Chain A
């Protein structure tokens, strides 16, 4: 069941990402949710390939951010050494290992698991690129964590990058019954970032399942005791040590701010 939801979610995301125009992309995203949406400057003209046009006709150079492998240069934001110094590779004990996390594990040292940072770096780059694109398209981003030690820091990060955070008890129908819960027509987030995918009783956070139900893409830091199946962009890594969470928050904030600043630049060029 969860596999089907995940494949649907991924296909949906892929389809939407393949769309060529910025305006189309943003329209398709928002049409999935409630009618009220932030007015996007959909008039951002997409630069057509100069090859298609006739020679001699002066065309403005148009860049399609979706076609660029790293439009926001998020790949340069961190190195494997940075991850290592922030203790991202440390996992729980073998007894708490989730079967689905086995591909991401480098090995175990006397019962303590070690996460493969080369894989983490790859997944983190993908996630940061996606976050930057969502921020570029004026998407709403929601940070979610139930890890009490780091929850205040996550809230502060969300505030600093102008996005939202939910680090308290998650009432059942926040996504699935939003209009009833909030009493008015609501716009759901376009991306949910999990700094910890488990809740206080070591069960998967309800928001993971609900985001998949509502077709909201998710980025999540998955530790060795988490289930990465329902998360669109899982990032295997340590989610318990404060210095690791601080590193993730810093990277996510930088990616979001890069996306937003690029947006401003593009709008000014019009």
Chain B
């Protein structure tokens, strides 16, 4: 985030060098007289405005966040996972991604163990291509049931879901780009 001359804050794509020079100019608390090539962050100093924002965005995506997550035990990861938050899959709405299309059958992966297979709807049928995001209503995470006479269930290796509609399609995006260009 950079302050323009008028003082209005706006987002602008800048290179790291310009950001650093801008920080040096606008930051409070750093000795303005010193011309240093290295810019060191002093955690004791209180930052405000651009300097504070710069520090916050500088720290994003660094390794410390990843390592913290890695040290969580499996129980913690599971407890905070979407699977547990989902609860009973019956009736839940999820967003899935089409990873395979076979004529009118759409193979959709929504992040569970199995994928689900839905038929292509009549409306906007051509928008359902590989890579499209769709909305589903789940019924079951795995279609398996016990048949008479067997000691174990028989599983179909598939989930059960109803297709509700399209969220995003690469076809739509390419059409929009065409419109923008023309």
Interface residues of A (CB under 8 A from B): 79-81, 84, 87, 89-93, 95-96, 106, 109-110, 112, 114, 116-118, 202, 225, 238, 240-241
Contacts and interface: CB of A to CB of B under 8 A. Distances in A.
Contacts of A91: 113
Interface in B93-152: 111-114, 141-142, 144-146, 152
Contacts of B142: 92-93, 112
Contact of B112 (A90, A117, A202): A90
A240 B157 contact: yes
Contact of B74 (A80, A87, A92): A80
A225 B113 CA distance: 14
A93 B143 CA distance: 9
Across the A-B interface, give the 3 residue pairs with the lowest CB-CB distance, nearest first.
Answer: A95-B153, A90-B113, A117-B74
Given A112-B142, A241-B113, A118 B73 contact: yes
Contacts of B144: 92-93, 95-96
Interface of B: 69-70, 72-75, 77-78, 81, 83-84, 87-89, 111-114, 141-142, 144-146, 152-155, 157
Contacts, number: 67
6 contacts: A84-B78, A87-B113, A90-B112, A118-B73, A225-B155, A241-B114
Given A110-B87, A116-B74, 4 more contacts: A80-B73, A92-B142, A95-B146, A117-B74
Main secondary structure, interface of B, reads: loop
A220 B35 CA distance: 62
Nearest to B87: A110
B69 A81 contact: yes
A106 B152 contact: no
Nearest to A110: B88
Contacts of A89: 74, 78
A92 B159 CA distance: 11
Given A118-B74, A240-B113, A96 B69 contact: no
Nearest to B84: A109
Contacts of B75: 106
Contact of A106 (B74, B87, B89, B145): B74
Given A79-B70, A109-B83, A93 B78 contact: no
A181 to B, nearest CB: 31
B114 A81 contact: no
Residue among B70, B89, B144 having the largest count of chain A Cβ atoms under 10 Å: B144
Contacts of B113: 87, 90-92, 112, 238, 240-241
Contacts of B74: 80, 84, 89, 106, 116-118
Contacts of B73: 80, 118
A92 to B, nearest CB: 6
Contacts of B155: 92-93, 96, 202, 225
A180 B138 CA distance: 52
Contacts of B141: 112
Contacts of A87: 111-113
A109 B72 CA distance: 20
Contacts of B72: 81
A90 B70 contact: no
A26 B137 CA distance: 56
A81 B88 contact: no
Contacts of A106: 74-75, 78
Contacts of A96: 144, 152-153, 155
A81 B77 contact: yes
Nearest to B107: A149
A90 B153 contact: no
Contact of B152 (A80, A90, A95): A95
A197 to B, nearest CB: 15
Contacts of A112: 83, 113, 141-142
Nearest to A115: B74
A107 to B, nearest CB: 9
Nearest to A112: B141
